[in-house]
Amino acid sequence: MEDVLARIRRFRDERDWMQFHDPKNLAVSIVIEAAELLEQFQWKNKEQVALHVIEHRERISEEVADVAIYLLELADNLGIDLRKAIHAKLDKNAQKYPVEKAKGVATKYTDF
């Protein structure tokens, strides 16, 4: 992802946007983009979602990218190594949701 990150930084700096990209504003933008991604599936049932994913693949791809761009920039600005952070979080999740208890349980997060 190094090439992607270099480009995100350059894109921002060419436009002198670092002044707006403090952690809070980036987190705000991540939520906004995540909601736009979710909007792709608003009101749809499983079959309609499956169809939409086939017919609007590029649009969904763009919405996923929008979330990713701000998330990568936030991690970068905070000096967070995203790969390491994900591994550490998965370690923690593995403790919280042991296979034998969590297997096939949908209500995992609210009931555990």
Site for its own copies in 18-57 (CB under 8 A): 19-20, 22-25, 27-32, 34-46, 48-50, 52-53, 57
Report the alpha-carbon distance of residue 81 to residue 27 in Å, rounded: 17
Please report, as residue ranges, which positions from 53 to 112 form the binding site for its own copies (by CB under 8 A). 53, 57, 60-62, 64-69, 71-72, 74-75, 78, 80, 82-83, 85-90, 92-94, 97, 99, 102-110
Shortest distance (Å) from residue 74 CB to its own copies: 6
Q: What is the residue type of 63?
A: E
Question: Residue 27 in contact with residue 50, Cβ under 8 Å?
Answer: no
Shortest distance (Å) from residue 96 CB to its own copies: 11
The separation between CA 19 and the C-alpha centre of its own chain, rounded to angstroms, equals 23
- Considering CB under 8 A, how many residues would be counted as binding its own copies? 78
Q: Which residues of 82-108 are buried (b: 16+ CB within 10 A; e: fewer)?
A: eeeeeeeeeeeeeeeeeeeeeeeeeee
Does residue 6 interact with its own copies by CB under 8 A?
no
Shortest distance (Å) from residue 73 CB to its own copies: 11
